[in-house]
Amino acid sequence: MNGRVVSVNISEKKGQRKKRIEKALVVEDFGIKGDAHASSEWHRQVSLLAMESIMKMQSMGLDVKPGDFAENITTEGIDLVNLPVGTRLLIGNAIEVEVSQIGKVCHSRCAIYYQAGDCVMPKEGIFVKVIRGGMVKEGDRITVVS
């Protein structure tokens, strides 16, 4: 199964929408350099959300775009939520990540939830731990390897 990177997104603080950037350095056992969620202290180093999930919210009339759900990497063409924990992905030419969590508990209702009555990130977003780092940019290929 192959897909691609639609957008790379970071934020300086937790709990806010992420801004789209051209490219980013993904650091082994840490996450995306410059992102508030990057840390070697936990398993949710990088978050991914499918463009297909964002399009669901757009079809509900919301004006949302990549990064608005606080995901680091917006993907296209991969059924993220059905990848088992432990699945490895190759991103671009060098990056290798391992799925560490599917979805998350949403402790507080975000602005998206109040606008739409729902939010896709807690149910359809996934989290990965960085096995091998490198540069990630829009258009990079994503390959499911195991």
Question: Domain containing 122 — which CATH number?
Answer: 2.40.33.20
Average pLDDT over residues 37-64: 90
Residue 97: give the domain boundaries. 2-144
- What domain count does the chain have? 1
Give the DSSP H or E segment for 55: helix 51-59
- pLDDT tens figures, 71-112: 999 999 999 989 999 999 999 999 999 999 988 656 565 555
Give the DSSP H or E segment for 49: strand 46-50
Cβ count near 9 (within 10 Å): 25
Could you tell me which of 26, 25, 31 has the C-alpha nearest to residue 43?
31
Cβ count near 104 (within 10 Å): 14
Tell me if residue 24 falls in helix, strand or coil: strand
| Gap between the Cα atoms of 114 and 10, Å rounded | 23
Enter the pTM of the model: 0.90
